[in-house]
Amino acid sequence: MTTQELEQLLAQQPIALLHRLARGRVQRHFRAGKRRLIEILLRHSAENRAGFESDLMILIGERPPLPIPPAPQAPAARKPKPSTPQHRAIHRPAEQDSHEPAITLSSWLDGLGVPPPKPFVTDAWQEDAIAKLREGDVVVSVPTGSGKTYVAVEAARRAIAENRTVIYTSPLKALSNTKYTEFSKIFGADQVGILTGDRRDNGQAPLLIMTTEILRNLLYDAGGGEIDIRLDTLGLVILDESQYIADPERGVVWEETIIFCPGQARLLLLSASIGNPHDIAEWLTSIRPTPCHLVRHSTRTVPLRAGYLHPNGKLMPLFRTVGIPHGHPSHLHPEAKRLFTQYEDETLPTGRRR
């Protein structure tokens, strides 16, 4: 392959592939635009040309085939790509919908609007979570904006009615403050308190809001013999945004809190969608006195559509389908794809902007 051929081949590749190729070769490659990235890659290829070319071919081979427009197949005439496994080209049933014509902007926008007012009806998963809390701990993992707060509020209401203390924690002070206002409106200001490092507003209230760190400290104090808050009447601990357990710096605080949470209190973990909520539930079951029930679903209550807005102000669907094609990241809308490729070609390295 001549350098010129190599350059051409690189230029034909999507930028993501170039970034993958640059990994470990070029520092800070993600900052470079396509042109610049190609320039840098070419320079680097001089060091180990053979290795570079073979890596490139492997990456090209790995890529799923582009949706090919339905046309009479003439396999003999097609030049086989190096190291492309033949079976990848085989027509898969999932590819079917990509052969349908891509949707138009107007059908993509269709349905936009405000729903007619409806009486509040709880979702089945919300009922389920609240009911299961009677039997043991509960982990809820549902998409953003599903209505986890409702579960927290109802669970708290029931625990308070039984004269039990409820602790609600969030990872951020800002969220704690928002919830303090929100819960005060729901339960009445005298029923809700908030604890920070130096302040205790209404600390005798049955529903206490704090950050997870503050709760962890309370639990340590209890372990050390100084009972600070009414841990003996504690009936429910709600850990909101508990996907924070995977936070590199603070995640351990969630683990400590869960490990030292008194056995008589129920744990309610509210989390955004994560890949392994069953692991969390199984873990809780293995260390807590009652089995833990997992409530999960991944369908959004308000359906989501994805779009592409070109810098020139032109709006279009991002995918070929109205909804999001789960499992098919490559089902891009041809127009969006074309314009984005054009965008990548046109974004010149900084300093040479036209």
Partner 1 sequence: MPPSIHPVDLILALRDKHLTPAIVFLTSRRACDEAMQAFDHSQVLLPPIRQQAIAAVLEKVIVQYPSIAEHPLIPTVQRIGVAAHHAGHLPSWKIAVEELMRHGCLDAVFATTTLAAGVDFPARTVIITQSSIRKSRDFTDLTIGEVQQIAGRAGRRGKDLVGFAIVTPSPYIDLNVLTKGFTGHPEAINSQFLISYPMVLNLLKAHPLDQIQPILAKSFAQFQLNQRAEVLERKLDGLREQMEPFGPRVCTDWITEWQTFDQVRRQKSHRAPARKHEPPEITARFHFLTPGRVVGIGRSRGVVLRQYRSKGQKSPMITALRQGGGITESPASTVTEVSDRVLDCVDAPVYPWCTPESVEELLRHLEELPGRLPELPILIPKEDEPIPDAIVQTLGDFACPTCPSRSACQRDYPHASKLRQEQQRHLKSIQALRTSLWHRFQGKIDVLQEFGYLTPTAHLTDDGEWARLIRIDHSLLITELIRAEAFNGADPAMLAAVMSSIAHDDDRPGAFPRVSSGLGSLLGQVRKLALSLSPHEDPPLLRADIAAVTERWIGDPSLTWIGLCKSTTMAEGDIYRLLARTLEFLSQLHTLKATHPGLADTASRAIANLRRGVLEELP
Ligand X SMILES: Nc1ncnc2c1ncn2[C@@H]1O[C@H](COP(=O)(O)OP(=O)(O)OP(=O)(O)O)[C@@H](O)[C@H]1O
Binding site partner of 212, from ligand X, partner 1, Mg ion, none, Cβ cut-off 5-8 A by kind: none
Q: Residue 82 or residue 329: which is nearer to partner 1 going by CB?
A: 329
Contact 55, 70 (CB under 8 A): no
DSSP state of 299: -
Closest CB to partner 1 among 61 and 134?
61
Which residue, 55 or 123, has its beta carbon nearer to ligand X? 123
Q: Contact between 148 and ligand X (CB under 6 A)?
A: yes
Q: Does 2 bind ligand X (CB under 6 A)?
A: no
Q: Find the residue with minimal CB distance to Mg ion.
A: 148
Mask 101-130, x = binds ligand X (CB under 6 A)? -------------------x-xx--x----
Q: CA 337 to CA 67: how far, in whole Å?
A: 12
Judged by beta carbon, residue 138 or residue 245, the one nearer partner 1 is 245
Number of neighbours of residue 88 by Cβ within 10 angstroms? 13
CB 292 within 8 Å of CB 286: no
Write out the binding residues for Mg ion, residues 138-167 only, by CB under 5 A. Answer: 148
Indicate which single residue of 14, 65, 136, 147 sits in contact with ligand X (rule: CB under 6 A): 147
Closest distance to ligand X from the beta carbon of 175 (Å)? 9
Q: How far is the CB of 43 from Mg ion (least distance, A)?
A: 49
Minimum distance of ligand X from residue 146's CB (angstroms): 4
**Per rule CB under 6 A, is residue 300 in the interface with ligand X?**
no
User: 145-169 in b/e burial notation, b at 16+ Cβ within 10 A?
Assistant: ebebbebbbbbbebbbeeebbbbbb
**Phi/psi of residue 320, nearest 5 degrees:** -70, -25
CB of 164 to partner 1, least distance (A): 23
Q: Which does 122 bind (CB under 5 to 8 A by kind): partner 1, ligand X, Mg ion, none?
A: ligand X
Find the binding residues for ligand X in span 254-273 (CB under 6 A). 272
Cα–Cα distance measured from residue 5 to residue 1, given in angstroms and rounded to the nearest whole number? 6
Given the complex with ligand X, which of 58 and 172 has the nearer CB atom?
172
d(CA 17, CA 282): 38
| Whole-angstrom distance, CA of residue 68 vs CA of residue 252 | 49
CA dist., res. 168 & res. 215, Å (int): 9
Q: Quick one: 54 or 301, whose CB is closer to partner 1? A: 301
* Contact call for residues 170 and 240 (beta carbons, < 8 A): yes
Nearer to partner 1, 82 or 197 (CB): 197
Q: Is the CB of residue 307 less than 8 Å from the CB of residue 317?
A: yes
Measured CA to CA, the distance from residue 312 to residue 15 in angstroms comes to: 21
| Residue 150 contacts which entry, partner 1, Mg ion, ligand X, none (Cβ below 5-8 A, type-dependent) | ligand X
Nearer to partner 1, 55 or 201 (CB): 201
Long-range contacts of 174-181 (CB under 8 A, 24+ apart): 175/240, 175/241, 176/209, 176/210, 176/211, 179/149, 179/209, 179/240, 180/209
Residue whose CB is less far from partner 1, 164 or 268 = 268
Minimal CA–CA distance to 100: which of 69, 74, 65?
69
- Residue 77 site contact among Mg ion, ligand X, partner 1, none (CB < 5 to 8 Å, cut-off depends on kind): none
147 backbone φψ class: left, alpha, beta (φ>0; ψ -120 to 50) = left
Window 149-178: residues binding ligand X (CB under 6 A)? 149-150
Residue 101 near which of Mg ion, ligand X, partner 1, none (CB within 5-8 Å, type-dependent): none
* Nearest approach, Cβ of residue 238 and ligand X (Å): 11
Write down the residue that tokens 């081949």 correspond to: 9
The separation between the first and the last C-alpha atoms of the chain, rounded to the nearest angstrom, is 33
Q: Which of 145, 197, 262, 303 binds ligand X (CB under 6 A)?
A: 145
Which residues are near Mg ion by CB under 5 A?
148
Which residues are near ligand X by CB under 6 A?
120, 122-123, 126, 144-150, 272
